[in-house]
A = this chain, B = another copy of it.
């Protein structure tokens, strides 16, 4: 394979990119945005070599334990479980929560072959069982998959004697945290209910 075809092929690792758009991307980069392509190449390299999962919250970080988890100002007795880093970011914007987080990096989704094992829920269970966490707050999306995930995680943690709550259904049914206005989300955090 020549170098151009190699690039077109490599672009197909991106989700949602088929042969035609990979081709279009390659031409566009080589023709119109070489500096952007250079930046992308370097960013990929840097991210792969320097990003890892935080040993405590499972989110991406450049250190072994991320800044947020190392922050002694935060309440270590509260652990908020979200699906993705973007959910954590929007939750932080509410300024309604001062505890720690655990990022699942996904959700239970049988159709995509993602079950409890693929989500490495044992890592969450271990984290929640550190003796310091007193309450786990489930803040997965209110989609079918997010609800199923909350239900499953809730069952597992409660069976281990851990107190579990779910953020209030202030978030519209079927809605995603990331697209929810900050006020609603803040209310949902305040009104969380014990499971």
Question: A residues near B, CB below 8 A?
Answer: 2-4, 6-7, 9-11, 13-16, 21, 23-31, 33-34, 36-48, 50-51, 60, 62, 84-86, 105-106
Contacts and interface: CB of A to CB of B under 8 A. Distances in A.
Contacts of A26: 47
A40 B30 contact: no
User: Which secondary structure characterizes the binding site on chain A?
Assistant: helix
Given A27-B105, A30-B51, A41-B45, 15 more contacts: A2-B62, A6-B47, A7-B47, A11-B14, A11-B40, A13-B29, A13-B33, A15-B28, A16-B24, A23-B86, A30-B47, A30-B60, A31-B106, A37-B48, A41-B41
Please name the 8 residue pairs, one residue from A and one from B, whose CB atoms are nearest each other, closest first: A13-B36, A41-B44, A10-B43, A10-B40, A7-B43, A7-B47, A15-B28, A41-B41
Contacts of A60: 4, 30
Contacts of A16: 21, 24
A99 to B, nearest CB: 22
A90 B39 CA distance: 32
